[in-house]
Structure 1
Amino acid sequence: MSVAKALTVQNISWLHGFSGLFVRPRRLQIAALCCRPGDNEPEILLVSTRGTGRLILPKGWPEKDKPAYETAVIEAYEEAGVVGEPDSRAMGSFRSFKGLSDGLRIRTKVLVFRIRFKKQLQSFPEIGQRKLFWLPLSEAIEAVDEPALGRFLRKHRSDLV
């Protein structure tokens, strides 16, 4: 290998490693879109984030060795005490950001699974850590703090009726 070729390979390798400091990989999160019948339209469950209090869907990182829809069921239970029947296929996805405890924000792709509400338990792992809101779909679209989630709910409105 020539010296020029070796330097080029090293430069590319160095540049690739350096660029990783600025371009963060997208991570996958799983969300539970919990819905129940309402008076005029379906109601959607929104939960507050623990840090900033933003209104979002219950969501988390995929559970190892479990299908994604089971992760959605787990998140609905842990964050809000919701028990329900999940769809095994995702409704779709949207892009978001996950704030980490050190202040870093990473891009995420959020895969959304609908969960048809059966009951809400009085005791669950994150009780007292979040506020829970059951809102009519049209109000939930306006209340969410992530524009991409609002667009997702608007787009899938007919799937929830």
Structure 2
Amino acid sequence: MANGSGKITAVQSGVLPIAGDMVVLITTRSSGRWIIPKGYVEKGMTPHESAAKEAWEEAGIVGKVEPEPIGTYSYRRPSGMFAVKVYPLEVESLLERWEEMHVRERRVVTPAEAIDMVCNKELAQILSSFFHLSL
């Protein structure tokens, strides 16, 4: 499945959770790096609907997701290269308890802080473009 050419082996969808003039980030389960909620597109769901479900499961975020992506970033795992289509999500509420609260940290930060916190350069560029900030 994985190859050395950088060919995409799977496409996922994720959300950029926007709470007023702030952004919500979560940590990965394994390394603790800061990311956005994302995952595989679930059968019977559109990519943006599936991304909203990931936000609820991974970060306890409830909100309205836009159907048009604002960008795509890629990352590598041992199983291959993944592309993530990112959809903006207007946060309506942050749940006090959620499915993955014991394996992830959630933080509400400014867009500038979010750009500095995420490790993925392509994701930082999406944040920068969306909020009209320079890297």
Q: Which has the larger radius of gyration?
A: 1
Q: If the length of structure 1 is used for normalisation, what is the TM-score?
A: 0.75
User: Is residue 25–residue 108 contact of structure 2 (8 Å, CA) maintained in 1?
Assistant: yes
Provide the rounded CA distance (Å) in 2 between the counterparts of 1:25 and 1:95.
10
User: Is residue 23–residue 110 contact of structure 2 (8 Å, CA) maintained in 1?
Assistant: yes
Identity among equivalent positions (%) equals 27
Which structure shows the bigger proportion of residues in strand conformation? 2
Match in the other structure for 1:33: 16
Aligned pair count reads 131
Match in the other structure for 2:114: 140
Which residue of 87, 91, 96 corresponds with 2:70? 91
1:79/1:22 Cα in 2 relative to 1: closer, same or farther (>3 Å)? same
Which runs of no fewer than 5 residues in structure 2 stay unpaired?
A: none
Q: Find the residue that maps to 2:48 and give its secondary structure.
A: helix
After TM superposition, give the deviation of residue 22 of structure 1 in Å.
3.8
Provide the rounded CA distance (Å) in 2 between the counterparts of 1:58 and 1:78.
9
Runs of 4+ in 1 over 3 A off after TM superposition: 20-25
User: Is residue 70–residue 126 contact of structure 2 (8 Å, CA) maintained in 1?
Assistant: no
1:131/1:23 Cα in 2 relative to 1: closer, same or farther (>3 Å)? same
After TM superposition, give the deviation of residue 52 of structure 1 in Å.
0.4
Which structure shows the bigger proportion of residues in helix conformation? 1
Mapping 1:35-54, distance limit 5 Å: 35-37=18-20, 42-54=21-33
After TM superposition, give the deviation of residue 89 of structure 1 in Å.
1.3
Q: Find the residue that maps to 1:156 and give its secondary structure.
A: helix
Match in the other structure for 1:112: 86
Match in the other structure for 1:58: 37
Match in the other structure for 1:17: none
